[in-house]
Amino acid sequence: MKILYLQNIRLPTEKAHGLQVMETCHSLAFVGHEVSLVIGSYLSLDENAIFGSYNIEKNFSLKKVPVSFGRQNPEYTGFLMKSIIYVYNAWKSYGKSSFDIVYTRDTLTAVVFSVFGKKVFYEIHDVRHSLLQRLALKRAIGVVSITRGLVDYCESIGIKKEKVCIAPDAVDLVEFQIKDTKSECRAKLGLPQNKKIVLYTGHLYSWKGADTLAQSAQFLDENTVVTFVGGHDYDIEVFKKRFADARISVLGRKSHDLMPYYMKAADVLVLPNSAKEDISRLYTSPIKLFEYMASGQPIVASDLPSLREVLNEKNCTFFAPDDASSLADSIKKILANQESVDIRAKQALIDVQEYTWQKRAQKIIDFIKTIKHD
């Protein structure tokens, strides 16, 4: 099958969607299909540099189309305008190409290519309550959803259940099969050997719950350090000023290939998503969730429907969302009961075997084959 993956995206990017798109394309190609990823020409990096930045084998083609007028710097073009230019140039370059399907996470792309007769599969990651997204969902011949919550939304607006496939995000298990001990990982990363490390990886947005984790530090003793890895530069500086506490360490953004070492270095991994926004409560499928599971380390997570789709009491310790005291209690429980939490961590490692990028890709392909392409 020839798959044209269209995504108006900057690569490489510090955001998780860049990794998700690259891993999806790589895995679709890995299971035997011809994949071409077409992105916007935001940066001058060549194809090899982009693949290298994600440490991904070059088994699919990566193309670029302009997202600006002439030689104008694309950063000075508004997001909506860049989206329109991307779709226009993508259509001009590939609209008459002989691909079996078009695959995209991009709403405008899904609408335009479906309107002009292409067989579009739309991967939905959030609910925007917009006419454009509804049109994309209704016109796509198939929808790939990352959570049950998104499937429920699709059904609520009249999308037939047989038109939707659930395919949560995933992980590269091989990447997390490192031989270094916890002590060796800490030495490699310059982390303290004599502290208990509670780790969060990812952005510092409010719906991610980073604030709740930072607030939980006040309930922990001085031998515990709450460590944050990730975030935009501006968010990191603001976060450091808001939470100036000796028990909090904000390390900033690190390369993705170091994540297995950071997770192995930790005593507890935290997924503190907020319940205040639907994207977090119902729709998210965080890549770091599966990475946490693959690391073999104990996990503490907000008790939310979105996370419960993968996690349960046998592989995780839950806490009340947005409650710093409850989170601190769960962290302390893990630190005080190593034997019982090791059992949960081992179960998480067993459970995550079903969430590889290759298995996800095969599930998507099997779903595509069930859809009539007439």
149 and 263 housed in the same domain:
no
130 and 158 housed in the same domain:
yes
Per-residue pLDDT at 344 exceeds 60: yes
Per residue in 248-267, pLDDT (tens digit) is 999 999 999 999 999 999 99
pLDDT band at 70 (very low <50, low <70, confident <90, very high): low
Rounded Cα distance between 115 and 120, Å, is 10
- Find all residues with CB under 8 Å of 213, minimum gap 6, and list them: 198, 200, 226, 228, 270, 272, 324, 327
Give 144-175 as a 3 state SS string: EECCHHHHHHHHHCCCCHHHEEECCCCECHHH
What sign results for the dihedral spanned by CA atoms 32, 2, 44, 86?
negative
Helix (H, G, I), strand (E, B) or coil at 225: strand
The proportion of the chain whose per-residue pLDDT surpasses 70, expressed as a percent, equals 97
pLDDT of residue 168: 98
28 and 40 housed in the same domain:
yes
Q: Residue 292: in which H helix or E strand, if any?
A: helix 287-295
215 and 341 housed in the same domain:
yes
191 and 116 housed in the same domain:
no
pLDDT of residue 78: 75
165 and 256 housed in the same domain:
no
Domain residues for the domain of 268 are 173-354
pLDDT band at 341 (very low <50, low <70, confident <90, very high): confident
91 and 239 housed in the same domain:
no
66 and 115 housed in the same domain:
yes
Average pLDDT over residues 85-93: 95
Closest alpha carbon to 194 in 219, 221, 224: 224
pLDDT of residue 141: 97
Per residue in 169-215, pLDDT (tens digit) is 999 999 999 999 999 999 999 999 999 999 999 999 999 999 999 99
Q: Residue 120: in which H helix or E strand, if any?
A: strand 120-124
Per-residue pLDDT at 42 exceeds 90: no
Least confident among 11-25, 119-133, 330-344 = 330-344
Per-residue pLDDT at 43 exceeds 90: no
pLDDT band at 82 (very low <50, low <70, confident <90, very high): confident
Please report, for the domain that includes residue 11, its CATH number. 3.40.50.2000
Average confidence score pLDDT of the chain: 94
Q: What is the pTM of this model?
A: 0.95
DSSP label of 353: G
Q: Residue 21: in which H helix or E strand, if any?
A: helix 16-30
Per residue in 204-240, pLDDT (tens digit) is 999 999 999 999 999 999 999 999 999 999 999 999 9
145 and 26 housed in the same domain:
yes
Determine how many CB atoms are found less than 10 A away from the CB of residue 130.
Answer: 10
Per-residue pLDDT at 305 exceeds 80: yes
Per-residue pLDDT at 75 exceeds 60: no
pLDDT band at 44 (very low <50, low <70, confident <90, very high): low
Average pLDDT over residues 83-87: 94
107 and 179 housed in the same domain:
no
pLDDT of residue 4: 98
pLDDT of residue 80: 83
Per-residue pLDDT at 69 exceeds 70: no
pLDDT of residue 148: 97
Average pLDDT over residues 21-39: 98
Residue 344 near residue 298 (C-beta atoms within 8 A): yes
pLDDT of residue 47: 87
pLDDT of residue 150: 98
126 and 219 housed in the same domain:
no
Average pLDDT over residues 301-307: 98
The proportion of the chain whose per-residue pLDDT surpasses 90, expressed as a percent, equals 89
Closest alpha carbon to 283 in 172, 108, 133: 133
Average pLDDT over residues 126-142: 97
180 and 107 housed in the same domain:
no
Domain count, the chain: 2
- Find all residues with CB under 8 Å of 47, minimum gap 6, and list them: 58, 61, 62
Residue 59 near residue 33 (C-beta atoms within 8 A): no
Per-residue pLDDT at 345 exceeds 90: yes
Per-residue pLDDT at 73 exceeds 90: no
